[in-house]
Amino acid sequence: MRPEDLLRPTPQGLYCPPGDFHIDPTQPVERALITHGHSDHARAGHGHVLATRETLRIMQARYGDDFAGSSEAVTLGEALRIKGVTVTFHPAGHVLGSAQIAVEAGGLRIVASGDYKRRADPTCLPFVPVPCDIFITEATFGLPVFRHPPADGEIAKLLASVAQFPERTHLVGAYSLGKAQRVIRMLRDAGYDRTIYLHGSMEKLCRLYESEGIALGPLANATVASGHKADFAGAIVICPPSEITERWARRFPEPVACFASGWMRIRQRAKVAGVELPLILSDHADWDELTATIAELSPREVWVTHGREEALVRWCSLAGIPARPLHLIGYEDEAE
């Protein structure tokens, strides 16, 4: 069997003809296998959805009970047969419930890794390398300039700033699924035990994480009662990145705009976004993690999906591994 006969890019996303299913389709399809809950990968409106239990819960929390015609939870590592194709989900280390999907038929195994990272994350299972013939990788940070520093150091930077400015509120912009909970959990691991305040849009997914056993410590709504602005002096508030410099931010005393993202590696990007304290914290693999993963798996071929494909494709060629970009559309740059 040729690889393209097992899995191929289509306008709706990756499609498996013999199994008649799509992986992370960007448009409604009959049968969808979903790697994780970020909205560019997990969309509402499919006929049938197969995903981890956590991902299904996230989709339900975001889109409501009727997010799909029907759904089925898969167990990590357990092989499923779909019309002659064997499918297995494996941890991807990206966010809670995130999985790589291995598709196998006729002695050929292709792993679609979805989004992934290799660093420790206290809010999800670590990435498991799955031997394969074809490895499909993302390339969100697929340029040598992207080297994320150790995450602990970024959290220490935030805590040092909180200690230095006890009269100001630190507003930490963080994507609502994954990043927000990781920042909170890492603050707890660093010994921060005060109440952490949440923008209203963060609450549902934080509660979901807690119900999955990820303790986030004391949390409260970031609602300022009139005349009590000073209550937030010295506090940490987690909010969507779009809010850190908006009108909403002005309700807090002398807010310090922070943004936790891999993009904060680019100084200009932080500056344009009005970020005073950039925190380089990513849920995607950086350049070293991408290349180390490919070297470790040593697949027969690499397919590169969304992000900066070209540099990674060239790196693979130089390493003697045939590689090609898939040019899939509809997936965003760490949109969450």
Output 38 or 57, the one with its CB closest to Zn ion: 38
CB of 165 to Zn ion, least distance (A): 32
Stretch that binds Zn ion, among 47-55, 114-122, 237-245, 273-281 (CB under 5 A): 114-122
Output 179 or 265, the one with its CB closest to Zn ion: 179
What are the beta bridge partners of residue 170? 236, 256
CB of 286 to Zn ion, least distance (A): 15
Terminal CA-CA length for the chain = 36
By CB under 5 A, is residue 115 in contact with Zn ion?
Answer: yes
Give the residue among 264, 283, 333, 260 at the shortest CA–CA distance from 120.
283
- DSSP-assigned letters across all residues of 226-285: TT-GGGGTT-EEEE-GGGTTSGGGGGSSS-EEEEESGGGGSHHHHHHTT-SEEE---SS-
Output 38 or 265, the one with its CB closest to Zn ion: 38
Give the residue among 59, 71, 90 at the shortest CA–CA distance from 32.
71
CB of 140 to Zn ion, least distance (A): 8
x/- string (CB under 5 A) for Zn ion, residues 26-65? Answer: ------------x---------------------------
Output 54 or 115, the one with its CB closest to Zn ion: 115
What's the sign of the alpha-carbon dihedral 309, 151, 276, 116? positive
Stretch that binds Zn ion, among 42-50, 107-115, 159-167, 246-254 (CB under 5 A): 107-115
d(CA 181, CA 132): 32
What's the sign of the alpha-carbon dihedral 119, 124, 130, 134? negative
Output 115 or 154, the one with its CB closest to Zn ion: 115
CB of 191 to Zn ion, least distance (A): 29
Residues forming contacts to Zn ion in the complex (CB under 5 A) are 38, 115
